[in-house]
Amino acid sequence: MVAPLRARDPQAVLFACGFNSVRSPMAQSMLQQMFPQGLYVRSAGVKKGELDPFAVAVMAELGQDISTHKPTTFEELEDWEGLNFDLIITLSPEAHHKALDLTRTLAADVEYWPTHDPTGASGNREQKLAAYREVCDALLLRIRRRFAKVAAASG
């Protein structure tokens, strides 16, 4: 008997990073747009941050509004709705360690997608936006690759 491949066809996905203020909300928004009814998607951070205005601006360029996103920690998400996810995709080392710790008691698969943190970018506004766009583009490419089979199955 073959074990079910839960991670290949997840129904609930959590994106996680350090502060839930840039990378994970971007990824959450992109995946939600791809599967408006097909997947339950949330994001969380190890610590609570403030939503980054550059992330909001870059997502607006894609026609996605994340301006009402409220950064959430793993603990807050667990308190509010539980951590009932098939797949946790971590975007930073600290989030990956947190997810691995959580999955000792949760039946969720964890994938690590090391993703650059653009908040340290220097330069003028356009140079900073370029760094955020790079992260956004990389996440979108990775999401499309990872969830292509899910899209084909639901389409």
The pLDDT value recorded for residue 150 is 62
pLDDT, residue 106, reads: 78
pTM of the entire predicted model: 0.89
Q: DSSP per residue over 41-108, as a string? A: EEEEESS-----HHHHHHHHHTT---TT----BHHHHHHHH----SEEEE-SHHHHHHHHHHTTTS--
Q: Could you give all domains of the chain from N- to C-terminal order, each with its CATH number?
A: 11-148 (3.40.50.2300)
> Across residues 14-39, what is the average pLDDT?
95
Q: Cα separation of 77 and 136, whole Å? A: 24
For residues 69-76, average pLDDT: 94
Which tokens sit at 89?
A: 């995709």
**pLDDT above 70 covers what percent of the chain?**
90
CA distance 61 to 90: 24
The per-residue pLDDT for 128 is: 97
